Amino acid sequence: MFESSTSIALLRRRILFGLTALVAAALIGAALLVQRIDDLEPCPLCIVQRYAFLLLAIFAALAAVLPDRASGPSALLALLSGLCGAGVAAWHVRLQLFPPEQSSCGPSLQYLLRNLPLGRALPRIFQGYGDCTQIDWTFLKLSMPAWALIWFVLLSATLIFALRRQS
C-alpha cells in the first residue's frame, strides 16, 4: 500500500511539472503570436522575460521526465527561473507605472549583448528604455508585463506546491 501511494504522489508531481512546462511554453507562443499579429517589437525586458519562461519550461519538463533524484534539482532550477522572471516582470511593471522623467530608446538587446561584456550589458538592460515604459498591448486592462508577472507567480507557486509534495 505504501509503495502504491508513493508512486501515485510521484505521478502527480510529474504531472504538475509537465503542466507547468506546457503552460510556460504556451505563454511564449502566445507572446510571439501577439507580437506577430499586432506588429509589436519586444523591448529588452520582454525578451529577458521570454528567456525566463523558456528556462522555466525546459527545467520543468526535465523535472517531469527525469528520475526522482534528478527531478528535484531540475524543479528547483525551474522555480529559480520563475522567481527571476517574476522579478524582471515586476521591475517592468514598475517602469510602466512610474516611467522615468527622461527616457530614450536605447540600443537593442542584441546590440548590447554583442558589443558589451555581460557585466556591462545586464545593468543597461534593466535600466529600461522608452519602449520598456510604453504600454502597447493590454488584456483586461493589464499590460503584457503585468500578465507575465501573474503567470510567473502562479507557475512558481505550482512548482513550490509540487516540490513540497516531494518531501
Q: What is the pLDDT of residues 71-126, one digit of tens each?
A: 889 999 999 999 999 999 999 999 888 887 765 455 666 676 777 787 777 666 65
Total structural domains within the chain: 1
Q: Residue 81 belongs to a domain with what CATH number? A: 1.20.1550.10
The three-state (H, E, C) secondary structure of 79-109, written as one string: HHHHHHHHHHHHHHHHHHHCCCCCCCCCCCH
Q: Look at the pTM and tell me if it is higher than 0.85.
A: no
Rg (CA), the chain: 18
Cell numbers of 56, please?
Answer: 522555466
Please state, in angstroms and rounded to a whole number, the distance separating the CA atoms of residues 83 and 137: 24
Instruction: Look up the domain containing 135 and give its range.
Output: 2-166
Q: What is the pLDDT of residues 45-69, one digit of tens each?
A: 888 899 999 999 999 999 999 987 8
